[in-house]
């Protein structure tokens, strides 16, 4: 029987549900069905009678490179004409609806949400998940970077708030405004990562499972789930409002064509460098 998931791997091992991004050749970027598949798996685990931990991780060397640049470029080859700015904004709000539902699924998830950062995360891969996860276990290869400002975008899906809650406002501004690349060591030192393992690939995945199974050996699952509920209840609505505000701001940037202009400038800059190298040969 074929799996109902095409772009994730999904399994349950005892009291641990595992969702694994599975587009390694595309660095687990958000193309194909990766987001719908992930939302579906979160729904299954949310209502599962036995699981305590929900682990989100990735196959291959990257956790996620964020937006699928290739798919976006192909879509932009077919320009769309809008009657006015309102119609244009509504079109982009519809495009971003999948991301809103993904964030809501994670914010409202009943089980202990563990982010297993198996490798680097960029853009949406870096900003959508760490601020929402309850526990972050990371490989020492798992650096983060969000180059939103360089591309005329904004911090996506409430990340401006969720990161500020985790690492403070000034560090968040440095990370999101300036597109600073954070090493795994910095993330651990700042309290964003709970633990950093000196491993990658299959060995990292095994370490994550051993750690969580060890916690289940000594801690009551229902108590851990209740801890999560009590902690998150007062901030749940604020997190969702932050997501809505971020989606609105992102749509406005696209109405202004800011990302399109920035991408065009970047392409011209890269093309100029490429021609300069050729002329010196």
Pairing of strands 144-145, 53-58: unpaired
* Cβ count within 10 A of residue 1: 3
Domain presence at residue 27: yes
Domain presence at residue 159: yes
pLDDT tens sequence across 170-201: 999 999 999 999 999 999 999 999 999 999 99
Average pLDDT, stretch 233-251?
A: 96
Domain presence at residue 2: no
Domain presence at residue 163: yes
CATH number of the domain residue 98 falls in: 3.90.226.10
Residue 276: is its pLDDT beyond 80?
no
Domain presence at residue 3: no
Domain presence at residue 1: no
Where does 99-187 show beta strands of DSSP type E? 112-117, 121-122, 135-139, 144-145
pLDDT tens sequence across 12-38: 999 999 999 999 999 999 999 999 999
Residue 2: is its pLDDT beyond 50?
no
Domain presence at residue 111: yes
Total structural domains in the chain?
1
Domain presence at residue 78: yes
pLDDT at 76: 58
**Domain residue limits at 185:** 8-280
H or E element in which residue 266 lies:
helix 258-280
156, 124 contact by CB (below 8 A):
yes
């Amino acid at each position: 029987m074929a799996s109902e998931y095409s772009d994730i791997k999904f399994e349950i091992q005892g009291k641990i549900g595992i969702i694994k991004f599975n587009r390694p050749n595309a660095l687990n970027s958000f193309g194909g069905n990766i987001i719908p598949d992930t939302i579906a798996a979160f729904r299954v685990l949310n209502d599962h009678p036995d699981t305590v931990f929900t682990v989100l991780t990735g196959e291959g060397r990257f956790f996620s490179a964020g937006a699928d640049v290739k798919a976006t470029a192909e879509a932009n080859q077919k320009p769309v004409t809008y009657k006015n700015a309102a119609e244009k904004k509504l079109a982009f709000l519809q495009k971003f609806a999948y991301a809103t539902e993904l964030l809501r699924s994670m914010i409202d998830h009943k089980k202990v949400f563990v982010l297993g950062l198996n490798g680097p995360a960029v853009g949406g891969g870096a900003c959508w998940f760490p601020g929402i996860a309850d526990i972050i276990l990371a490989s020492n290869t798992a650096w983060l970077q969000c180059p939103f400002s360089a591309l005329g975008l904004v911090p996506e899906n409430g990340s401006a708030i969720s990161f500020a809650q985790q690492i403070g406002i000034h560090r968040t501004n440095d990370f999101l405004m300036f597109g600073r690349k954070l090493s795994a060591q910095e993330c651990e030192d700042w309290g964003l990562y709970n633990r950093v393992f000196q491993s990658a690939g299959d060995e990292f995945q095994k370490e994550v499972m051993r750690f969580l199974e060890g916690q289940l050996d000594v801690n009551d699952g229902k108590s851990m789930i209740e801890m999560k509920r009590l902690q998150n209840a007062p901030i749940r609505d604020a997190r969702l409002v932050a997501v809505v505000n971020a989606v609105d701001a992102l749509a406005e940037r696209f109405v202004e064509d800011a990302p399109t202009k920035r991408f065009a400038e970047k392409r011209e800059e890269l093309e100029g460098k490429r021609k300069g190298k050729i002329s010196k040969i």
